[in-house]
Amino acid sequence: MLTVEQYLKPEVIRQISRLDLRAQFIVKGFFQGLHASPFHGFSVEFSEHRKYTPGDNPQDIDWLVYAKTDKYYVKKFEAETNITGYLVMDLSASMAYTYRQELTKFDYAICLAAALCYLMIHQNDPVGLMTFDERIKTSLPPKSKRKQIGNILSVLANLKPSGPTHIAASLDQITAMLRHRSLIMVFSDLLGDPEPIKTALRRLRHGGHDVILFHVLDEAEVRFPFDGLVEFEEPESGERMQVDANGFRADYLDQIKAFRESYRIDCFRIGVDYVPLDTSMQFDRALTEYLVRRKARG
């Protein structure tokens, strides 16, 4: 029998060629992990129920769930649970990078997005998809029918990151397009000028939207596992630079730490959920962040 870790490891996911099967594999491992963790029972509440509180109608108690959990849960009404979600994917050339991991940043992001799509459709929540480079490239309107999974996965599976990006302008476009309060799940390496991006995130929040920012970096970008004289190429401009990796490492690690910390602090201030990830990490951290955020909405 496969362990939870195997279901959630990027290097194992890489061996599955079809994106729909990858997504199901991740979700299966995730829920298996929930039941074996302090979140036991959380997945039941997440999907269809919430805990009984004084003032609830006792007739709404789900006694089958009580028999399994020894806790009182009531069925959620549709109006309580439904939130429209958008998966927002960065198509910049830098997202195609990997140094030694099985998945590129983009592979990792689309696996995660596909799994989140399954989770939302499982709840009958409408979910849509937007992709961007210098502007919005694809926009699939949100739907909650099961066939929407196939619609989204077929687009995700055929995406190819390439060329430059303008994250801030694309986020502003999304803000202008949206007419109703939504849950916006952004997947990006955020390799651009941070200040305009943070301003665009602030505008998105000001529009009443909930935002989860999945900051996906390659494991090498986070840990800098290089030695000696190394030539680096900027993926969007093609510019090359040689550096002494050993002499550069300490400064680089300080800068990448400050880069992520700056986003964490500013996102906290404006009410954006910031989820720092790298491509060596199991998928459950990001899924749990989503789950906690989704549960808090119930």
pLDDT tens across 255-298, in order? 999 999 999 999 999 999 999 999 999 999 888 888 777 766 55
d(CA 237, CA 14): 29
Residues 69 and 122 in one domain: no
Residues 60 and 93 in one domain: no
Segment 122-148 mean pLDDT: 94
Q: pLDDT tens across 78-99, in order?
A: 445 578 999 999 999 999 999 9
CATH value at residue 199: 3.40.50.410
Residues 67 and 123 in one domain: no
173, with CB counted inside 10 A (0-12, 13-18, 19+), is: middle
Domain span including residue 47: 4-78
pLDDT at 157 over 90: yes
- Number of domains composing the chain: 2
Task: State the pLDDT at residue 4.
Answer: 74
Where is 235: in which H helix or E strand?
none
Residues 63 and 92 in one domain: no
Residues 133 and 279 in one domain: yes
Residues 38 and 135 in one domain: no
Q: pLDDT tens across 171-221, in order?
A: 999 999 998 999 999 999 999 999 999 999 999 999 999 999 999 999 999
pTM attached to this predicted model: 0.85
293, with CB counted inside 10 A (0-12, 13-18, 19+), is: middle
Residue with the bigger pLDDT between 8 and 172: it is 172
pLDDT at 230 over 90: no
Task: State the pLDDT at residue 295.
Answer: 65
Whether the CB-CB separation of 270 and 208 falls below 8 Å is answered with no
